[in-house]
Structure 1
Amino acid sequence: MKQRLISLDVLRGLTMILMTIVNNPGDWGHVYPPLLHAEWHGCTPTDLVFPTFLLIVGISIVLATPAKNLNGPTLQKIVTRTLRIFCLGMFSGFFVRLHLFGLEGNALLAARLVVTAMVVVALFSDYDRKWQFITAAGIFAIMIGLAFSGIEPFNTVRIPGVLQRIAVVYLIASLLYLKTSWRTQAIVGAVLLLGYWAVMTLISVPGTGGATLEKGTNLAAWLDNLLLPGHLWASSKTWDPEGILSTLPAIGTGIAGLLIGTLLKSEGLGKSEKVKYMLTGGLAAVAAGWLWSLVFPLNKALWTSSFVLYAGGWALLCLAVLYYIIDLKGHSKWTAFFVAWGVNPMVVFFFTGMIFRLLNAVKVENPVNMSEKTDLVPYFYQYRLAPLFTDPRDASLAQALLLVALWSLILLALYRKKLVFKV
């Protein structure tokens, strides 16, 4: 395993653990408020998870790049990884539609296992780089082609998504880092944030009579529905929290990561100086984001410019504290658990959703109505786990923590074997 910045791996691990908890409650109707996203404007701890991960993506680009040289092989590697991450994000949309082919029970479970295995081999395996690119490009073309073919059941597959946004930010940030100086990167980031603010607050939304930041009627929602009708977030159908326009300020989050990575990689600064710069930068970003929110509200779904600064500032403060404790003071004996989570994030991202969908292909007898069958996960939660708790929020949290425990066993085993899976 290559030498890594332990504090960054720990932060990534903490982020992945929190992501697993907030994304997998037993019952969405009973969740403690800090573990939910803000309804619209505002910011909860849950809202900080995704921007923290994107910031880490930018930092990792710098730390993992030995030299700034954009040649053919490097470009192919970047594009291949972008396509692989994007395809992993879109895969779940195709995966869940297998039941629409009339498959059920053991046949559905077998089909899902086979398809998942094929995708895993194609997108996680480390083989010849040329074939990695060809395979990733081929899978991407097939998925996009099916999505826009009008063929049911693929004509409503969601195209934007969390992994898809990570892929786009990774691509743009990588190219920027390899071709520009940190000053140019800072200027591009500032232009994106200021430009997004201007576009969202000054340009009238067709059909509304003016600019608005309200849910479903803002310019970002209008553009999503114009360009990707039928391929958006299932919960809204007419807009997407990882949509097209809001990806621009998300790139700003990735650029902020590039600047932090450049600071961490600087050989002219001591570790204590780096901590001071990160603490100062984090506090300044939180303050600036809060002040900006007075005219451009904090909003994770819109990824507002104020949210970029505010969320990025908190992430930077957390990294500064971890860097001080681990890399400056050398207190690292406690970190193995979190590093195990931090070095294999894509495994957790991809397989968490797959685990529940595979388990739910198994049907069990409903204890209340013996003539009916129910999915395995809801059965386990409703009839085995929930009755153990008096507060339904505790039961809901317990299922998420059980998943964290399961993943911990898997990830610690991989870490001890020094197995790191990258796409």
Structure 2
Amino acid sequence: MKQRLVSLDVLRGLTIILMTIVNNPGDWGNVYAPLLHAEWHGCTPTDLVFPTFLFIVGVSIVLATPQKTLNVSVLQRIVTRTLRIFCLGLFSGFFIRIQMFGLEGLPLLVVRLIITAIIVVALFADYDKNWQFLIAFFIFLVIMILAFGGFEPFDTVRIPGVLQRIAVVYLIASLLYLRTGWVTQAIIGVVILLIYWAVMTLIPVPGAGGANLEKGTNLAAWLDNLLLPGHLWATSKTWDPEGILSTLPAIGTGIAGLLTGTLLRTNFDKNQKVTYLLIGGIAAIVVGWGWSFVFPLNKALWTSSFVLYAAGWALVCLAILYFIIDIKGYSGWTTFFVIFGVNPMVVFFFSGMIFRVLNAVKVNNPADPAAGQMDLVPYLYKYQLAPHFENPMNASLTYALCYLVLWFVILWLLYRNRLVFKV
């Protein structure tokens, strides 16, 4: 493996670990409050997971780009990577909608897995960069045709998503870094946050009256439903937490990462870097918190105050890890976190598919044999794990930790064999 900034890998690993835990409880009705998103306004530790990852994307762009050169070859590489990430996110939604010749159950799952393998190999096989771009673009085009061409059951598949937002932020942040200096980037970031604040709080929402920040009736929700009707988050159906307008301030999160990466690449003494990281982090937290009194912290809307607040905590965490690992040299404990940190896209893409594969196995329902069979995953939780706990919240958390262990084994095998999958 190439030499990496271990503190950044550890922070990325911590982010992926927390993401895995909060996304996979045994019972959504029994989850400890810090492991849940804020119901609407507000911020919990769980709300900081995604912005921290986007922040790291920005930092990584700088650290992985030794020379700020933008030519046709570099642009092609950036666009290809963007399409790859975007396609992975889109295909995650398409996976469960694939039908073939009326197949059901395990045979259908096998077909879906074969198609998944073809897509993954096509996107990431090692061939000429021109072909990489063309194939990624072709897969993107086919998915878009299926989604918007009236083809059932893809006509209601979700288009926005976590990987899709990562792709867009990566694209714009990469181009900003290669074409502008850090001062211009900072100015653009501030302008984005101010414009988003004005747009969300001053522009009346068609059909809903004045500007507002309420769930489902704000301007971002209106725009999502106008441009992507039927292709939004299944829970809401009329708006999306990774929607179109709220992706604008998410670019600000990526820019915060660019500025941090630029600081880390300067010739400043390492102790100075830690000081600047801490000062910047604390300042961002304070300003974001203060701004929240007029523009509330809200992850679903990705409000400007939330951008600063979340970036501030990411800076503070990175400063602490950088001091412990890169200055003091206390790195013996980091391997567990690095294992998660070097292959994050593997977890992002395959996490949901593992459940679908396991649930293809059916078992008899112990509570009601006459009701037929049930999926393996809920059976394991409800009848094999939960009965051993008096507190259902502890049972639910233990289930998530067991899933984390499963992912550790997978990622450890990749790490041991020096397999790092870069999108």
Determine if the TM-score, normalized by the shorter chain, exceeds 0.5: yes
Q: CA deviation at 1:101?
A: 6.3
Aligned match of 1:248: 248
Please tell me whether the aligned partners of residues 10 and 334 of structure 2 are also in contact (alpha carbons under 8 angstroms): yes
Q: Cα 1:101–1:254, aligned 2, differ >3 Å: closer, same or farther?
A: farther
- 1:99-248 matches, within 5 Å, as 102-248=102-248
Please tell me whether the aligned partners of residues 216 and 238 of structure 1 are also in contact (alpha carbons under 8 angstroms): yes
Cα shift readout 1:82-122 (whole Å, capped 9, x = no counterpart) = 00000100112111113586332221221122122112212
Please tell me whether the aligned partners of residues 100 and 111 of structure 2 are also in contact (alpha carbons under 8 angstroms): no
Cα shift readout 1:256-285 (whole Å, capped 9, x = no counterpart) = 100000000112x01000000000000000
Please tell me whether the aligned partners of residues 201 and 211 of structure 1 are also in contact (alpha carbons under 8 angstroms): yes
Give the counterpart letter for 1:366 in structure 2: N
In the alignment, the residues of structure 1 paired with residue 62 and residue 256 of structure 2 have an alpha-carbon distance, to the nearest angstrom, of 11
In the alignment, the residues of structure 2 paired with residue 227 and residue 161 of structure 1 have an alpha-carbon distance, to the nearest angstrom, of 15
Give the counterpart letter for 1:25 in structure 2: P
Corresponding pairs, count: 422
In the alignment, the residues of structure 1 paired with residue 44 and residue 102 of structure 2 have an alpha-carbon distance, to the nearest angstrom, of 41
In the alignment, the residues of structure 2 paired with residue 284 and residue 404 of structure 1 have an alpha-carbon distance, to the nearest angstrom, of 34
Give the counterpart letter for 2:203 in structure 1: I
- 1:371-410 matches, within 5 Å, as 371=370, 372-410=372-410
Aligned match of 1:65: 65
Aligned match of 1:341: 340
TM-score normalised by structure 1 residue count: 0.98
Give the counterpart letter for 2:331 in structure 1: S
In the alignment, the residues of structure 2 paired with residue 124 and residue 34 of structure 1 have an alpha-carbon distance, to the nearest angstrom, of 37
- SS of the residue 1:171 aligns to: helix
Q: CA deviation at 1:359?
A: 1.4
Q: CA deviation at 1:131?
A: 1.6
Aligned match of 1:34: 34
In the alignment, the residues of structure 2 paired with residue 220 and residue 5 of structure 1 have an alpha-carbon distance, to the nearest angstrom, of 37
- SS of the residue 2:2 aligns to: coil
Q: CA deviation at 1:375?
A: 1.1
Moved more, 251-260 or 102-111: 102-111
Please tell me whether the aligned partners of residues 86 and 163 of structure 2 are also in contact (alpha carbons under 8 angstroms): yes
- SS of the residue 1:294 aligns to: coil
In the alignment, the residues of structure 1 paired with residue 210 and residue 93 of structure 2 have an alpha-carbon distance, to the nearest angstrom, of 35
In the alignment, the residues of structure 1 paired with residue 291 and residue 127 of structure 2 have an alpha-carbon distance, to the nearest angstrom, of 47
In the alignment, the residues of structure 2 paired with residue 135 and residue 66 of structure 1 have an alpha-carbon distance, to the nearest angstrom, of 27
In the alignment, the residues of structure 1 paired with residue 67 and residue 145 of structure 2 have an alpha-carbon distance, to the nearest angstrom, of 36
Please tell me whether the aligned partners of residues 68 and 177 of structure 1 are also in contact (alpha carbons under 8 angstroms): yes
TM-score normalised by structure 2 residue count: 0.98
Q: CA deviation at 1:70?
A: 0.5
Give the counterpart letter for 2:290 in structure 1: L
Please tell me whether the aligned partners of residues 93 and 158 of structure 1 are also in contact (alpha carbons under 8 angstroms): yes
Query: What is the aligned-residue RMSD (CA, Å)?
Result: 1.1
Aligned match of 2:302: 303
- SS of the residue 1:29 aligns to: coil
Please tell me whether the aligned partners of residues 105 and 363 of structure 1 are also in contact (alpha carbons under 8 angstroms): no
In the alignment, the residues of structure 2 paired with residue 21 and residue 100 of structure 1 have an alpha-carbon distance, to the nearest angstrom, of 33
Moved more, 217-226 or 84-93: 84-93
Please tell me whether the aligned partners of residues 355 and 377 of structure 2 are also in contact (alpha carbons under 8 angstroms): yes
In the alignment, the residues of structure 2 paired with residue 362 and residue 73 of structure 1 have an alpha-carbon distance, to the nearest angstrom, of 46
5+ residue gaps, structure 2, are none
In the alignment, the residues of structure 1 paired with residue 271 and residue 365 of structure 2 have an alpha-carbon distance, to the nearest angstrom, of 60
Cα shift readout 1:160-193 (whole Å, capped 9, x = no counterpart) = 0000000000000000000011111111101100
